[in-house]
Structure 1
Amino acid sequence: MQDHLSQTFSALADPTRRAILARLSTGEANVSDLAQPFLGEMSLPAVTKHLQVLEKAGLITKTRKAQWRSCKINGEALKDAADWMEHYRVYWEESFDRLDAYLKTVTAKRTAEGEDQ
């Protein structure tokens, strides 16, 4: 059993699923509309499987009203992934800031030593 964050990143690893999420970021859409851009490359059942992966990861929700199957994005699941990445972004920025400060002191020291000669 994968943890929630692993499921999210696994779902986001596929370019088709990212394209579906990009489309849903503009608003709710039915399955047929979401499948339309991919039908030359893959079948409707293949697109449906991508939607199932996104739904299982909690990235989208699907509703059914008669024959209309609507999908919408679930921003909360994306927020969890963004929060996880933000923690590491801050860590790396701080690391690079420390490296930058160190390199400036080394450069200044070498420049001062060069002037003394």
Structure 2
Amino acid sequence: MSDDLDIIFAALADPTRRAILAMLLEDDMAVTDVADPFEMSLAAISKHLTILTRAGLISQEKRGRVKWCKLEPDAMRAASVWMQGFGQFDPVNLDAFERFLEAELPKGDGA
């Protein structure tokens, strides 16, 4: 359990990965669409997606020639339960989490 939490929190520690999660709150996305707003290579985005997938925060599925990413919100449950153990944290509110992630999105040229 501790290893799983380490992987989840490590994945959430990066602002690019949090931004990707915010994007996926809206709908499933093709990898190329996920990469669009970021000023980094597709290979770099793929590394971020691999980390999110290993943490169980997203899943990836190939449909035809296109690889799609999907948010897996239940993966947050273990982290939420762990934080609740401190008595100061409520369960993860996905609406509030969405607002937080949207605030974390990179400010770009409106793309």
Q: Which residue of 1 aligns with 2:7?
A: 7
Which residue among 57, 64, 88 is the counterpart of 2:62? 64
- Counterpart for residue 32 of structure 2: 32
Unaligned runs of 5+ in 1: 93-117
Say whether 1:75 aligns with 2:78: no
What's 1:17 paired with? Answer: 17
Q: Which has the higher helix share?
A: 1
Cα distance in 2 for partners of 1:91, 1:58 equals 25
Identity of paired residues, percent? 45
- Provide TM-score, normalisation by structure 1: 0.71
> 1:29 is aligned with what amino acid?
M
Give runs of ≥4 in structure 1 deviating > 2 Å. none
The residue number in structure 1 matching 2:108 is none
CA distance in structure 2 between the partners assigned to 1:78 and 1:7 by the alignment:
11
Q: Tell me, which stretches of 5 or more residues in structure 2 are unaligned? A: 90-111
Other-structure match for 1:87: 85
- 1:51 aligned partner, one-letter code: L
Report the residue type matching 1:15 in the other structure: P
Q: Which has the larger radius of gyration?
A: 1
RMSD: 1.5
The residue that corresponds to 1:45 in the other structure is 43
Secondary structure of the equivalent of 2:36? helix
Alignment partner of 1:17: what SS?
Answer: helix
Cα shift at 1:91: 5.2
In 1, distance between residues paired with 2:28 and 2:84? 27
Normalised TM-score (structure 2): 0.74
Amino acid at match of 2:19: A
- Separation in structure 2 between the aligned mates of residue 49 and residue 59 of structure 1, nearest angstrom: 14
